[in-house]
A and B are shown apart, each in its own frame.
Chain A
Amino acid sequence: MSLQYALTVTLNGLTLAALYFIVASGFSLIFGLMRTVNMAHGSLYLIGAYVGFAVFDPLYMNDATYSYAWYIAILAGIAAAAIVGIVMQVAFLGWMQGQELRQALVTIGISIIVADQLLANFGGSPFQFFAPDILFGPMEIPFVGRYSTFRVFQIGVAVAVGVGLWLLLNKTRLGIMVRAGVDDRQMLAACGINVPLIAVFVFGLGAALAGFGGVIGATAQPTQLGIDVKFLLTSLVVVIVGGMGSIPGTAIGAILIGVTEQWGQALLPTYSVILTFVIMVAVLAVRPQGIMGRPD
């Protein structure tokens, strides 16, 4: 095996991990921090991708607007997923806080409805965004050679999302409220803080990250219906491996899963599917709260 091959596989793993991190960090906020079971997280990813593409396509076809079509698509994908997420939280999940089974069933129902609605309205063909010119095409990387500029950009985006979330949670009053709400919702309310409103904000932010991931992911590779299940499952595994509600833990989990998947496909193509679950089982056996998780 050449060095170039090994580095390329690793880089593929890291860029995939970057996408997983963007999506799973949203899941970590919703499931890890707020303990809201959201089996429709993959649907929010798809909504971001599909609505983003519906906005992108006509703009991209027009010579006057094609250069900024992608950026508008990003905003549209984020907004669509956030709005759907906020409606889900306000209409359904907020008042069944703590009832995990009920939340799971409701969100599975929502994910089925979303999948059928997307099929009915947008059709079943795969689609892909064109990255803006500055991110389009290959770039030269030492020892690796030509590599997709956009996939390198993905890593930068993931780092920015991670740093942003860390700052939000650790350095702002809103972040203090979120963490206090995780510890003791009732006491936080007795401190004069509108806890349901905080929950709506966190859910909206988590959903927005899924929608953002949808547009990013559908730019890196073609996207179609069905991929929501993969992203839901991966987000679950990443958050469980990394530790519930920990942003650094989510980053570690995403890197572990992304790199393992790519190396698994390179070395053990037949068994690569189960490798991520082997990691999950191993982590749960040794450290049930996840790598960076706090014991309950």
Chain B
Amino acid sequence: MSGRLEIDDLHVRFGRAHILQGVSLTLGNKPLSLVGRNGMGKSTLCHAIMGMVGTHSGQIRLDDQDLVGLNPNRVARKGIALVPQGRRMFPSLSVHEHLTLVARKGDVPWTIERVYETFPRLAERRRNGGNQLSGGEQQMLAISRALLMNPRIVIMDEPSEGLAPVIVDHLVETLKQIAAEGMGVFLVEQNMRVATAVSDTVAVMVTGRIATTMASQALMDDAEAQRRYLGVSHGH
């Protein structure tokens, strides 16, 4: 069961740098992707939602519960899980320990057994350390770590970064499947192809603001918008 995440006029400053300059977004039942160039504040937004950075003003609500000012562990308990940029494995823990760390008891959709069924590669490597895995395996583990918290919303920060194309295709299928089961998916991507494949709607971030929200297909078809917002052109 997904929740409704509403962000309203959110500002974040680091010292004199004004990173988020009034972000407003709503994530409902359907997956939403956020695209934008490097340094536009996408990761800061993820961290602000999780309570990992302090906010200056604005609101973050999950089903009308205020999340601003909560510690990350409280935000996580409210039902938001993060797959962070760079994956942030725990080098001291084995694959299996990563999973037992977050697994919840009781009647929940995601269990360790189901993770191993979904990602057989992780079962094979269950005794390996978190940083002995390939990039793709680490990403599977980072996603599993989030899924095992059985969140209502999962935030993925640049999950396709550094992965081989064939692994990225597998990732897209996994994300679609997660969303189809009713979990809220907020996908932050630089890879427009991944973003538009996972969600029907794409928000575009430019220097700390949401510049526009448009249909994925419309962004795919609009070379001028791609060049302007993402700096990509199909010429080369």
- Residues of B with C-beta under 8 A to A173: 100-101
With CB as the reference atom, state the residue of chain B lying closest to A180.
Answer: B90
Which single residue of chain B is at the shortest CB-CB distance from A192?
B76
Q: In the complex, are the beta carbons of B102 and A179 less than 8 A apart?
A: no
CB distance from B2 to the nearest CB of A (A): 18
B11 interface hit (Cβ, 8 Å): no
The answer to whether A180 and B93 touch (CB under 8 A), given A190-B52, A192-B149, is: yes
- CB-CB contacts below 8 Å: A149-198 with B: 173, 176-177, 179-180, 182-184, 186-195
Which residues of chain B have C-beta atoms less than 8 A from A195's C-beta?
A: 73
Q: Give the interface residue-count category, chain A.
A: 10 to 19
Categorize the interface residue count of chain B: 20 to 34
Q: Does B84 lie at the interface of the complex (its beta carbon under 8 Å from any beta carbon of A)?
A: yes
For B82, the chain A residues whose CB sits under 8 A away are: 190
Q: How far is the CA of A106 from the CA of B124 in the complex (A)?
A: 48
Q: Which residues of B have CB within 8 Å of A179?
A: 90, 92-93, 97
Please indicate the chain B residues that have their CB under 8 angstroms from the CB of A193 in the complex: 73, 101
With a CB–CB cut-off of 8 A, which chain B residues contact A190?
Answer: 50, 52, 72-73, 75-76, 81-82, 84
| Residues of chain B from 53 to 101 with CB closer than 8 A to chain A in the complex | 71-73, 75-77, 81-82, 84, 88, 90-93, 97, 100-101
Residues from chain A with a CB closer than 8 A to the CB of B50 are 190
B101 to chain A, nearest CB (A): 5
B145 contacts chain A at the CB level, 8 A cutoff: yes
Are B73 and A194 within 8 A (Cβ)? yes
CB distance from B208 to the nearest CB of A (A): 22
Contact A191 B149 (CB under 8 A): yes
- Quick check: B97 and A189 within 8 Å, CB to CB? no
Which chain A residue shows the least CB distance to B97?
A: A176
Q: Are B102 and A192 in contact (CB under 8 A)?
A: yes
Are the C-beta atoms of B91 and A176 separated by less than 8 Å?
no
Are the CB atoms of A191 and B52 closer together than 8 Å?
A: no
Give B197 Cβ to nearest chain A Cβ, in Å.
26
Q: Which residues of B contact A (CB under 8 A)?
A: 50, 52, 71-73, 75-77, 81-82, 84, 88, 90-93, 97, 100-102, 145, 149
Residue positions of A touching B, CB distance < 8 A: 173, 176-177, 179-180, 182-184, 186-195
25 A-B contacts (beta carbon < 8 Å): A173-B100, A173-B101, A176-B97, A179-B90, A179-B97, A180-B92, A180-B93, A180-B101, A182-B92, A183-B90, A183-B93, A184-B88, A186-B52, A187-B88, A187-B90, A188-B90, A189-B73, A190-B52, A190-B76, A190-B81, A191-B76, A191-B101, A191-B102, A192-B102, A193-B73
